[in-house]
Structure 1
Amino acid sequence: MQTNTPERRRITPSVLYPGTPVVLMTTLNDDGSTNISPLSSFWALDDRVVLGIGTQGQGCHNLLARRECVLNFPGSHQAAQVEAIARATGRTPVPDAKQAMGYVHVGDKFALGGFTAIASRQVGPATIAECPLQVEVTLLATHRPSGAGDAHFVIAEGEVRCVHAHDAITIAGTQHIDVQRWQPLIYLFRHYLGVSAPLARNFRAETPASAAT
């Protein structure tokens, strides 16, 4: 019996980013200023979030030391701002591994990326005003990957304290995001992409059909 199964081959990609939202994590530096760390490993379930964070960056140091952060989600129109701080690190001196990849120390990533810092409500680090979706988080636990040897990353689990969203991406009179207007920046195999118009609606969606189609 013949089938129309597509041909496939086994591959070993250098990175596995099949499509995740870009997150700009803000954390408090030792001097009280706020650092910005671009992340691409994120997922959420109920009021819990899980992050994959490189241990050689200032963001990881700050998160472990003060156990709080803000997850700022940029829109697709902000790819240039995100890439402007991509090579920047708050660590000084710059770790050898990061220096070999082209990272340089930058003390003020807000200025470098053209971002504005505003006070958060429940945590110490500043929020990025221009990011349409902002999630304040308290760290609950960190995990070293089992069997990963000297892996230069940790898995961080946090609790959502509060969520802010630009009025323009919400549905008035509800607690919902308007998926027609919210266009997150997606990280796909080290390329930045936007998202298309909604294609369908899951049976559990709570937003009106008119807002998603």
Structure 2
Amino acid sequence: MTIRVLLVDDHATMRAGFRMILEASGIEVAGEAGTGREAVSRAAELQPDVVCMDVQMPDMDGIEATRRIVEAGTAAQVVIVTTFDRDDYLFSALDAGASGFLLKNAGPEELVNAVRVVAAGDALLAPEVTRRVIERHTPAPTTGVEHESDQDGDAGLTERERDVLRLLAQAMSNAEIARALFIGEATVKTHVSNVLLKLGARDRVAAVVYAHRHGLT
């Protein structure tokens, strides 16, 4: 199925550049918005698979727009795409329900990959910010992981589940993990679910934190 994207940025030239990159990769740009309020309205109207969201915009910033889109219950996954590598933007975006965080200095292939990853229901963080997310989650119990007392750090994971967790920690999507391990994507989803259950992890980000803290990367 073709991925449908809503581009949100108050600079028309930036939207044009993103459109060119995405459409060249077979991704459909379903619409554009230049403000936060327009983004919320367009997301409800167009029901895109992914919203590429800027942060600093007129009338409503991208963080609040993300929160409203997520709370509206649409199927759209939001990727924050910003120039500003700031902790307050990063953590506020994740708290608002964003599925990804990417800097605008990323290459075209990184933008395309981010859209595909979150459209598949996975999460993605720019490499530059992954370490900061890990550090923020280091003090218990904010990691969302209940098995901090495990001496070997495996939480009862099978060898295959450990392999999946290592690849999760490399920000791979389910499809990429399937290709790397030569298994089906449905099997990967089962392994990911088992990993989250055994770790007591709320989400994939918490699982990645666990992997880094226990040397599984």
| TM-score by shorter chain over 0.5 | no
TM (norm. structure 1) is 0.26
- Structure that is richer in strand per residue: 1
Question: Which protein, 1 or 2, shows the higher relative CO under an 8 Å CA cutoff with sep ≥ 6?
Answer: 1
Which protein is bigger by CA-based radius of gyration?
A: 1
